Amino acid sequence: MFGVTGVWRGFPLGCRGACRPGLRIYRVRVYNRYMSMRESSYFILAALMDDRLHGYAIIKRAEELSGGQVRLAAGTLYATLDRLVEQEYVVADGEAVVNGRARRYYSLTEAGSAALREQAMRMAAAAKVVTDRPTGTLRSACVSGESA
Amino acid sequence: MTRPDDVNDDQLVERVLATRYRMLLGLYPRRYRAERGDEILGTLLDAARPGQRWPSRRDTASMIIGGLRVRAGSPPASVGAALADALYLAMFAWVSAAAVHIAASFGLALARSRGTDTWTVASFGLPFGLCVATLLAVAWRRYAVALVALAAGMALCWGVDRPVPFWPLSKMAAWGPELSVAVLMTLAALAWLRHRPAVRWPVVLAVVVLVAPYKSLIHYDLLPGDVVILTTWLGTWALAWLPPVIATLLAMVEPRLTLAVAGHSVLVYLTHVWTAVVDLDYFPDIQPTVAAAVGLVAAIGLLAARRQTRI
């Protein structure tokens, strides 16, 4: 609840950013474990993995990487970027004016890259629960469920 | 619109669209606009379809919500921090509701020409002044000063040996000492935490505007007897159904505001319950509905606050 310096760090409920997930309530802990990052944040960070990008390029790249599932509106993009910059997951990395339009470029930081990988591992672990199971087992369970 | 010779159709359309997007950017605070406005405008124009003259509905909605969120302050670090901010806002709701009611009651006393003697002016003026002092002290994060001022205001209302129509301060003091203690303990908790709110003044203003006139101005004390039944019924039903509707809209922008409204509703509800138990059979049928509505508001606020804390 209090840090080493005695500064209030919020009630011991929930957690965000780089702190370790895991709560006292079991269901919330499970939820946190796999879904601690919003889908929009995940794909924005993923879009910045290869190169620095400006706002519109992030929108396009995120849409492409998500197979068209994540279509970021400008308000959502900048609200998310603000939080990612605040968390030091992303930094502003240069400005330019192209065709009379102002552009600011963003890059992924090491902390951002680590958070992205951590989230990807969580989702991979969650996916493994299903993909590692032989298809036959699932089918037989379904069939027995139907017959019951 | 006159067109300069060196501007083609596409450029003209883009200028029209840019002007409309700039109007939407006006929803963001000036400082934020100065820093990011051109960049956001560039992104919006990059994303526009050829020949697009009006902002899309998605962009409009996201910019309205985004702009209001930036004005509201930085998001909470945790659900606990959101709850502490909500309590901070609820203090404004509770105390400003009391202040508005005292002022309204004073206006009514003057209108009925029965309260211009020094005693009446003092009996209205002192609690009102203490409420205002409490609000200012909370705004400046002088919680200990606020605690003393509010306790003095409550003691005054409780101690005055005549009917004092100061709702809800007098209701809290006269009908539910426990509720008074709950409010004072909230203030004490904020003092103990040395709470630094992450919400900005527009949210404080919003909670005061939303809550302070609510119920106080339509309270039956202020109206002739014939209208009492109708307004009481309407007021109580509004108390039950208006908050969930408002809360759902508020939660989209600022869940802490939703939680503060829920906190205020809890206090109003408890005051009603206490009155029903102690005084008379006061709206017994409506209580489960009100309780459900308040619970719904709190649940909406908590879920939205939890979502807000995620990156």
Check CB contact of A15 with chain B, cutoff 8 Å.
Answer: yes
Rounded to the nearest angstrom, the minimum Cα separation between A39 and chain B is 9
pLDDT at position A99 is 83
Residue numbers in B near A59 (CB within 8 A) = 43, 47
pLDDT in tens, B163-222: 444 444 555 544 455 667 778 888 999 999 888 888 888 888 888 887 776 555 545 444
pLDDT at position B2 is 52
The verdict on a CB contact (< 8 Å) between A55 and B42 is: yes
Check CB contact of B117 with chain A, cutoff 8 Å.
Answer: no
Asked if B146 and B137 touch (Cβ cutoff 8 Å), the reply is yes
Check CB contact of B64 with chain A, cutoff 8 Å.
Answer: yes
- SS3 state at A16: coil
The verdict on a CB contact (< 8 Å) between A13 and B66 is: no
Distances (CA, A) of B253 to B41, B97, B179, B305: 22, 23, 30, 10
Helix (H) or strand (E) segment spanning residue B124:
helix B118-139
Residue numbers in A near B253 (CB within 8 A) = none
pLDDT in tens, A39-79: 999 999 999 999 999 999 999 999 999 998 889 999 999 99
pLDDT band of residue A89 (cuts 50, 70, 90) is very high
Prediction ipTM score = 0.71
Nearest Cα residue to B266 out of B178, B193, B188, B204: B178
Task: Show the tokens assigned to B281.
Answer: 């059979």
DSSP code of residue A8: B
Task: Show the tokens assigned to B232.
Answer: 């009481």
Phi, psi of B113 (to 5 degrees): 50, 45
The verdict on a CB contact (< 8 Å) between A75 and B41 is: no
Spatial distance between the Cα atoms of B10 and B13, rounded to a whole number of angstroms: 5
Check CB contact of B11 with chain A, cutoff 8 Å.
Answer: no
pLDDT at A31 over 80: no
Rounded to the nearest angstrom, the minimum Cα separation between A132 and chain B is 29
Which residues 192-231 of B have a C-beta within 8 angstroms of A?
Answer: 193-195
- SS3 state at A18: coil
The residue ranking higher by pLDDT, B58 or A6, is: B58
pTM score above 0.90? no
For residue A71, give the chain B residue with the closest CA. B58
Prior bond to B168 cis, omega within 30? yes
The verdict on a CB contact (< 8 Å) between B38 and A77 is: no
For residue B46, give the chain A residue with the closest CA. A56
- Which parts of chain B have pLDDT scores under 50? 1, 161-168, 173-175, 218, 220-231, 278-282
Q: Pick from B59, B64, B311: which is nearest to A17 by CB?
A: B311
> Mean pLDDT, to the nearest integer, of A26-40?
59
The verdict on a CB contact (< 8 Å) between A74 and B80 is: no
pLDDT band of residue A139 (cuts 50, 70, 90) is low
Check CB contact of B40 with chain A, cutoff 8 Å.
Answer: yes
